[in-house]
Amino acid sequence: MHRVILAAHVHDAHGGMTQSDWLVFGASGAVGRFLLGRLAARGETVLAVSRRGRPAWSAALTQVRWTRLDLFGERLERGLCAARVLSAGPLDGFVDACLQADWPAGTRVVALSSMSAVTKQDSPDPAERALARRLVHAEEALVDAAAARGWRVTLLRPTLIWGAGMDRSLTALVELGRQWGMLPLPRSARGLRQPVHADDLAQAMIAAAGHPDLDRAVLPLPGGEALPFRDMLARSLAVAAPQVRLVQVPDLLAWPAIWLLGRLPGRAATLSAQLGRTREDLQVRDASGWERLGIVPRAFAPSANAFEPPDDSPFEFS
């Protein structure tokens, strides 16, 4: 049973009703953190939605007001709206919220999806195939809802996101290396990757919201540099965990072990699928999304703090 969130309106100092310039879902996540910083720097008012509530690092962002909402377990009360709505959190949860919303015709909606909607459709891991299906279904449901209600919607499909220490890929591997003191990797793990910085995606979302010709567009947003998986991981370790040794395992040993790992339940099967893709090129050659937004994404040049989980200190926005 859903619980109704009584946070539909924001009150000013005199008790009157105010409407924020932006409504941001997933505000405390990797991309959301950069979104809030950029919008606050522009002097915009933001109503931020997060299942965690207001984090300590956002205290200096006085234009940002917060409401707590778990998109997967709580209902969105009618009246929670803004002219521009951004979703930087889970797309399927956001779509559920949209179906409850009473946003007027003309509302501008920009939502993050993922290239996993394409790259994981044929994964050997059932959980990853299910993720791809959920993403595609959520994309279609959002476009259909927007068409029925007169909203203008744009979907963004980024590749691997990095830069805020909150991802489950590079940051997780760096942490695993710190625990083990080394990271084994198949010798052929040289499939191309294009990691995209969370702040570049924040810029893209804001730019898309102001673009007049992107209604119902689905934009691929790869990172600014394509590099082999092994090199991507080596750069990450060099700045975040230089003591960790990257060990190349001969393929004759590595791939049978990965296959056996895939026969195990739960997280082991997912890890097997992830390792299995390390020799596949996942390069997205279509950069038209960035070109239409007028943004040049940065190359993969990480610093150590890019892989540090957030703490309660003020967040530094680039």
**Interval 120-178: pLDDT, tens:** 888 877 888 999 999 999 999 999 999 999 999 999 999 999 998 888 888 888 998 99
Q: How confident is the model at residue 310 (pLDDT cuts 50, 70, 90)?
A: low
Amino acid (1-letter code) at residue 90 = P
Phi, psi of 127 (to 5 degrees): -65, -35
Digit-coded pLDDT (tens) for 235-258? 999 999 999 999 999 989 988 888
Token pair listed for 274 = 């992830």
Token pair listed for 216 = 């119902």
Distance (Å, whole) CA 292 – CA 225: 18
How large is the average pLDDT for residues 58-68?
Answer: 88
Task: Tell whether the torsion through CA atoms of 106, 292, 86 and 92 is positive or negative.
Answer: positive
Q: Please report which residue ranges of 241-285 form alpha helices under DSSP H.
A: 251-262, 267-276
Report whether 159 contacts 221 (CB < 8 A). Answer: yes
Digit-coded pLDDT (tens) for 267-304? 777 778 778 889 989 999 999 999 999 999 999 999 98
Q: Please report which residue ranges of 44-186 form alpha helices under DSSP H.
A: 91-100, 116-119, 126-149, 170-180
Number of helices (H), then strands (E), belonging to the chain: the values are: 10, 17
pLDDT(89) > 90: yes
Structural domains in the chain plus CATH codes: 20-307 (3.40.50.720)
Residue 314 CA, chain-centre distance (Å), reads: 21
